[in-house]
Amino acid sequence: MWLLKAQITKLALAGTVTLLFASTAAWADQVTSVMTPDVQANVTPAKALTMLKDGNARFVSGNATDYDYIAQVKQTAKGQFPFATVLSCLDSRIPPEIVFDRGIGDLFVARVAGNFTNDDILGSFEFASKLAGSKLIVVMGHTECGAVKGACDAAQIGLLSTTLASINPAVTAVEGHNPRNSTNAGFVQAVSEMNVRLTMKTLRDRSVVLRQMIESGEIALVGAMYDVSTGKVTFFED
């Protein structure tokens, strides 16, 4: 009996050691690097877009990067050098850092229901682009957007009504759909895409700083739609 117990203990210890080494190997594979001033400086707007496309491809395929977030927290404690800026909806299903497979310090992100822009967001994006060196702005809408559906239905719910009013121009701009409410999936999708395009136009029209940077090629502006059923992001320029 004593011999049997000794053998079991030995096997258990061996298993613990094996697990420890396996865990150590897994930690060793985690990505700890972050964006630095030199790396950010060498990222062009086109390269920034490619990085996001590649990241989304990894996310969709189930091959997302294993980031050591705590290590990245420590490395970014004294500075940040994101390469792209994303304006997305509040929707819990589309966290930009995750769907683009990026780590801490990679992206500036602004989120609001309906992914529209206002002066506060534009000012934030001027900071991100002009002062902090971000090379790309992405306005990202998504399928099955509740805010867009609310705007399509002219919903009236407290202060949310004011928020949804920012999407009304897109509702008005979309033609040729009947019925014009949230029961019509094609109408909702068309409004969602139009809302992205109009938000991009607002960004260019209202921010002289960003418009000049776009025209000079310092930064790029693209639109995108995220599919909540697949995780795939489709990009377009205007």
Indicate if 22 and 86 belong to the same structural domain: no
User: Structural domain tally of the chain?
Assistant: 2
Indicate if 178 and 148 belong to the same structural domain: yes
Summarize pLDDT for 194-227 with one digit per residue, the tens: 999 999 999 999 999 999 999 999 999 999 999 9
SS3 226: strand
* Stretch 128-133: mean pLDDT: 98
Cα-based torsion angle of the residue sequence 65, 69, 71, 72 in order, rounded to the nearest 10 degrees: 80
Indicate if 35 and 98 belong to the same structural domain: yes
What is the distance between the alpha carbons of residues 62 and 85, in angstroms, rounded to a whole number? 24
Region for residue 176 given its phi and psi (left: phi exceeds 0; alpha: psi -120 to 50; beta: otherwise) = left
Indicate if 49 and 157 belong to the same structural domain: yes
User: What pLDDT is stored for residue 207 in this prediction?
Assistant: 98
Indicate if 26 and 72 belong to the same structural domain: no
Indicate if 136 and 60 belong to the same structural domain: yes
**220-226 sheet: strands from edge to edge:** 107-111, 84-88, 136-142, 220-226, 233-236
Q: Are strands 84-88 and 136-142 parallel, antiparallel or unpaired?
A: parallel
User: What pLDDT is stored for residue 2 in this prediction?
Assistant: 43
* Stretch 173-190: mean pLDDT: 96
Residue range of the domain that includes 161: 31-236
Residue 14 has pLDDT above 50, yes or no: no
What is the distance between the alpha carbons of residues 77 and 90, in angstroms, rounded to a whole number? 26
Indicate if 181 and 91 belong to the same structural domain: yes
User: What pLDDT is stored for residue 8 in this prediction?
Assistant: 39
